[in-house]
Chains A and B, each alone.
Chain A
């Protein structure tokens, strides 16, 4: 057991599990309804849209960029797919077409940022505004819900398999594929190399610019998946569909990355789970919706500070110095000697 715990990855997984356990205990005490099967499925259902969004954002974070366009692209995706369904398209056609639209949005981001060298934050804000504005095109801003019932899109959310909605099954599916892709294939390794040491990646023959652009494309496509789940759950396409997703999505990805020391599919799923549990627990504990964001923001910033390696390093150095212990020699000075 001790040997198992000495591996840092296992330590982090252990701390995550411990944290989750504590949260579950806390919320169960605050409201016994928390630990029911019904509530568990509610948690799963509510976290599915964020789950997709966070999955997309993960790729962007892995290549060390930021994407602030997804509130706009989720709205656009929602209206686009809803429009296609209203126009009579079968959901099996409408959704892939919508994802194609997401791909185009992702390409806009990717080309501007990776090839035209525009700054990621501002560019994605701009693209988000453009695309969010475009979401008004489809119905002049009005909600779309015609044909929803007859097209069968609602079964995505309402239909269940083993008590879990189809949407969530798709989500799990997507996470599994993404996990294999990012953590078990050569392309995944290239993504990480691109984000961590782009120059070394370039010298290793990796087309860094392409990988950055593709990260944004993947994000764009997955955002539309989130849109689809949203309109299925809500029964309509509305222009403000993406509102409020910024914090939850970043919190999930970054909290996960902080706990596990680097971004990835497993860290993101941990983050999504944590945020979903907290959100649900807060609601059941009587905390109103408005304060949720404040709590989540607090958790994120606390998590980032607590797990930041630099801060931990300097803190542990100060403790060591205070206790009179010697600091281990760093390798960098040896390099500098020549």
Chain B
């Protein structure tokens, strides 16, 4: 029996390789496509912009990724970011420094996460209903705090500088440095990279991630094995809130403004990235690496489409994103149904 299985394993392994990294190939193909049709795509400014947006978006939804991995959803992430954005902007405008403002934001995020996590995992309320409520609540708070409109930060300080610095500008002096590809990479990508790496480690090498994916496969089995699944899931909601809040603060620094409605554009993008990303690495299950790939694909597509003049009006962008989300979800469901044990179906 062992010999047969290893033969099957080999074939499974190769097909699995294709399934698992196919999306990366799509990303590369898209880059090549847009780049070849519009040379300005590879301009340093464009690369910086893409990577910066990708970093911030990744930080915003890396927590959401794990929540989706357990089969739940959190639709409050984008208003959490908005509230963090407005709170930090307000505090910095009042003269506070970024670090203290960030700590305040983290406390708020922790409270939000605990409330969400408790209501959903300990009281058993619907994840959608609870997070719709928190989303509205936080969005409302953000608007109230900002008096209904965006406002500027007069002295944006070091964090803003950081957001606009690239490797080239930071480490190489003299002209011509920004022209090289590496030079165009924004510093904030480093932050995202660290988060990505740590997340990946948690997800793949520690029991933390192990239990996340185990409970998606069979909640009862993990519960019966003595693991405190409810506490784990609550932590995931806290983490998601903290990370979305972090992204909100970074965005405030980047744009030097407090924008109470900034989150709206990240809603569909974020969810699409997570669901699309579930096609990479863990076929059909959301994961941090996939989310990053999904984000890159979305940003490349929107910047590329804009550069090629496809986005003649606003609506087309939304339609494309919605279409990608639909496609990604469909493929993920299809992939998962193949992995699922057929005999478990009644």
Contacts and interface: CB of A to CB of B under 8 A. Distances in A.
A and B touch in the complex (CB under 8 A): yes
B132 interface: yes
A298 B143 CA distance: 16
Nearest to A247: B136
A118 B330 contact: yes
B179 interface: no
A304 B179 CA distance: 57
B326 A126 contact: yes
B321 A141 contact: no
A152 B308 CA distance: 43
A300 B135 CA distance: 12
Interface in B107-134: 119, 123-126, 128-130, 132-134
Interface stretch (B91-99, B183-191, B312-320): B312-320
Contact of A136 (B73, B314, B333): B314
Contacts of A172: none
A305 B136 CA distance: 17
Contacts of A122: 73, 271, 275, 325, 329
Given A66-B128, A118-B330, A305-B123, A294 B144 contact: yes
A128 interface: yes
B106 to A, nearest CB: 21
B132 A130 contact: no
A291 interface: yes
A219 to B, nearest CB: 16
Interface in B311-346: 312-323, 325-326, 329-330, 333, 337
A290 interface: yes
B73 A121 contact: yes
Contacts of B337: 117
Contacts of B134: 297
Contact of A118 (B136, B312, B333): B333
Given A127-B322, A130-B322, A310 B124 contact: yes
Contact of A126 (B126, B312, B322): B322
A126 B329 contact: yes
A232 interface: no
A129 B329 CA distance: 14
A97 interface: no
Contact of B325 (A126, A136, A297, A310): A126
Nearest to A296: B136
Interface in A62-85: 66, 68
Contacts of A298: 133, 137
Given A291-B144, A305-B119, A123 B139 contact: no
Contacts of A201: none
B318 A133 contact: yes
B144 A290 contact: yes
A250 B129 contact: yes
B76 to A, nearest CB: 10
A123 B129 contact: no
Nearest to B139: A293
B328 to A, nearest CB: 9
A133 B119 CA distance: 34
A100 interface: no
Contacts of A246: 132, 136
B298 interface: no
- Which of B129, B316, B321 counts the most A-chain CB atoms under 10 A from its CB? B129
A250 B136 CA distance: 11
A102 interface: no
B132 A129 contact: no
Interface of B: 73, 75, 119, 123-126, 128-130, 132-137, 139-141, 143-144, 148, 268, 271-272, 275, 312-323, 325-326, 329-330, 333, 337
23 contacts: A68-B75, A112-B330, A118-B329, A118-B330, A122-B275, A123-B329, A126-B322, A129-B318, A129-B319, A130-B319, A130-B322, A132-B322, A133-B319, A136-B313, A288-B144, A290-B148, A291-B140, A293-B136, A293-B140, A294-B137, A301-B133, A304-B125, A305-B123
Interface of A: 66, 68, 112, 116-119, 121-123, 125-137, 140-141, 239, 246-247, 250, 254, 288, 290-294, 296-298, 300-301, 304-305, 308, 310-311
Closest 8 CB pairs of A and B: A136-B315, A133-B318, A129-B322, A130-B322, A133-B319, A294-B140, A126-B325, A293-B140
